[in-house]
Amino acid sequence: MGDLGPRPRAEADDPRSGPPCRVAAVAVAGVLVALVAGLIAAVVRPGADLERTAVSQPAATGIPVPRTVPSPPDPAAFTRPTRGLTTGPGTPTAAAPGVAAGGPPEMPGLAGTSGVAGTPGVAGTSGVAGTSGVAGAPAGRTLVAVATQDVSWFAGTGGSAAGLVIASVGMPASLPVIDQRPGWLRVRLPQRPNGSTGWLRRAGVGLTSTPYRIEVDALAARLRLYYANAPVLDVPAGVGTREHPTPTGSFYITRVVPPARAGFGDLVLVTSAHSPTATDYDDSLDASVAIHGPLDTTADVAIGTRGAHIARGCVRLHLADLDRLREVPPGTPVDILTEVAV
């Protein structure tokens, strides 16, 4: 018997063997398969770079999530409306001299806050009605002393304390400065009699300033707002009557508080002025003059565009006009001029 090892492979078993037509057919088929595969890849997978930029693959789900690429913001969307001189409710005209279109610039620590900053050396104001002018003050601003805790006030620069300035929790006492001496500041006080002033030790308070000033004409029944001495608002108001006049003098905003009810508007600006004929407003334990909304529709209509003498001493505004005072901070001077004619 011969060798029983592996049988040599016959030529018929080798696909490379056989007639020439069979070899050509196999080669053409291979080329066609390669072309079809390439076309499918080009349609289904447009390119690795494009896919990487268009699809992200969250590890948690493994599901491709299209990524939205935001378009650049439209600069017009951030343009603030012009806050010019207003002569009536909601009727802006050209911007006042010295006030850029778009309203006064935002002042850190001033919009809606007392701006408590223990920064000595901040100058006060000069040439503003209701102040005596503080040395070294920039024009059009009022220096404000800020007490974050109760602080004693004095009748002069020395001696024993004459009283106490009360600072509420979360609501510092903000007092406009009208004079100063080394180590001392003379400020307006929020108490009777109207126009009271006192001296504070400089070391016991912080300092900030406000560019705002409010002027109320109790005879013409109008309220005006100034920014850096430039008028930015002039609107009709409801002021006191002959029986209950709005007191005249130099005062200031002591605090800005939420309203007691809807007719007051979104905010109430309480001043340091007190009614000369009343001792209590709505169980408030004090008749402090405040700037607020019209209270009701009848009063709102009466105020109209020319103002009216309809209040018990406070100053009432159309709600739209009141909203324009939202940026006015505590410590802002309020000068009430003239009185109702008898």
The first and second tokens of residue 111, run together, are 């919009």
Residue type, position 116, single letter: V
Q: In the beta sheet, which residues pair with residue 220?
A: none
The first and second tokens of residue 340, run together, are 């109702």
Query: Distance (Å, rounded) from C-alpha 208 to C-alpha 329?
Result: 11
Q: How far apart are the first and last CA of the chain?
A: 150
Given the residues 274, 292, 309, 318, the one annotated as active site: 292
Cβ atoms of 233 and 223 closer than 8 Å: yes
Query: Distance (Å, rounded) from C-alpha 333 to C-alpha 227?
Result: 11
Q: How far, CA to CA in Å, does 188 sit from each of 40, 75, 304? A: 85, 44, 33
Q: By three-state DSSP, how is residue 341 classified?
A: coil
Longest distance between any two alpha carbons in the chain, whole Å: 150
Query: Distance (Å, rounded) from C-alpha 245 to C-alpha 117?
Result: 37
Q: In the beta sheet, which residues pair with residue 236?
A: 222
Nearest one of 290, 166, 298, 281 to 216, comparing CA atoms? 290
Instruction: Respond yes or no: is residue 244 known to be catalytic.
Output: no
Query: Distance (Å, rounded) from C-alpha 157 to C-alpha 166?
Result: 20
Given the residues 244, 274, 309, 314, the one annotated as active site: 314
Tell me: cis bond preceding 193? Omega within 30 of 0 counts.
Answer: yes
Query: Distance (Å, rounded) from C-alpha 189 to C-alpha 202?
Result: 16
**Which residue has tokens 């939420």?**
258
Provide CB contacts within 8 A for 287, sequence distance 6+. Answer: 274, 275, 278, 279, 280, 281, 313
Nearest one of 188, 183, 215, 218 to 202, comparing CA atoms? 183
Instruction: Respond yes or no: is residue 274 known to be catalytic.
Output: no
Which residues are tagged catalytic? 292, 314
